[in-house]
Amino acid sequence: MSAVLDQLRNPGVVAIVRLDDYSSAVEMVRALHEGGIRAVEFTYTNPRAGEAIAAVADAMGEDVAVGAGTVLDPETARAAILQGAAFVVTPTTRVETIAMCRRYDVPTVIGAFTPTEMLTAWEAGATMVKLFPASAVGPKYIKDVHGPLPQIPIIPTGGVSVENCAEFIAAGAAGIAAGSNLVDAKTVAQGDWAVLTERARALVEAVGNARRARDQ
C-alpha cells in the first residue's frame, strides 16, 4: 500500500478519466505519465472501466497507480480490485465500501461534502477524503474544515484546474484531482497525446509550486 500512497500524494495530482470510450486507455495514461502524473482513475460510469484498469495495470506496471472511480458499492470495489485497481475512489460516503477495500489492503479516496461525512469516512478507515463537488464551496472551505479536523487529508474534486489548483493547495489540500479540465473526449478522440502531456505537466508544476510556497 505504501507505494500506491506515495503515488497518490506525490506529485499530488490524480487524473480522472470519465469518457464513453476507453479504447485508448493505455495511450492516454502513457501521455499523462510523461507529464509527471503517477495516479489515474477510470470511472465506473463506463461499464468497461474494469477492462481499462486491467489493460493499464498490465502495460504500466508500478509506474502508475491505476484506480477505480465512481465506485458506489462494495461489490464494485471488489470487482475493480480483482481486475487490478490499486486504489478506489467514491463520490459519496459508504462505510461498507471502505471496509471492503481495507480487507484487500487497498487505499481509498472517499467522497464527502460535509464535515460530518468527512469524519465518518475518516473514522471508518478512509485513506483520504475527496471533497466533492469542490466547485460548490471553493478553497476556503478546506481551510475552514481543517480548523476542527486538521488530521483529514482532503483532495478537492470537481472544477479543479491549472488556474485554481494553487488556491486549493494553499488552503491545505493534500493534492487535487482533475477530470475534464485535464482529460477531455475531443483530445483523446484525436489522439493528441502531446496536449495531454502538456496539461499534466502544467498541473504538476502548479501543484508543486503551490506546495513549496505554502510550506515555506
Query: Cell numbers 485508448 correspond to what residue?
Result: 24
Which among 75, 130, 163, 167 is annotated as catalytic?
Answer: 130
Classify residue 148 by burial, with Cβ atoms within 10 Å: 0-12, 13-18, 19+. Answer: exposed
Say whether 130 is catalytic: yes
CB 45 within 8 A of CB 70: yes
Which among 34, 41, 62, 163 is annotated as catalytic?
Answer: 41
CB 42 within 8 A of CB 25: yes
- For residue 197, what pLDDT is reported? 98
C-alpha span between 56 and 103 (Å, rounded): 23
Say whether 123 is catalytic: no
The model scores a pTM over 0.85: yes
Q: Could you tell me the strand order of the sheet in which 154-156 lies?
A: 154-156, 128-131, 108-112, 88-89, 65-69, 39-43, 13-17, 176-178
- For residue 4, what pLDDT is reported? 95
Instruction: Report pLDDT digits (tens) over 167-205.
Output: 999 999 999 999 999 999 999 999 999 999 999 999 999
- For residue 2, what pLDDT is reported? 85
All structural domains of the chain, each given as residue ranges with its CATH number in brackets, are 2-215 (3.20.20.70)
For the chain, which ranges sit under pLDDT 50? none
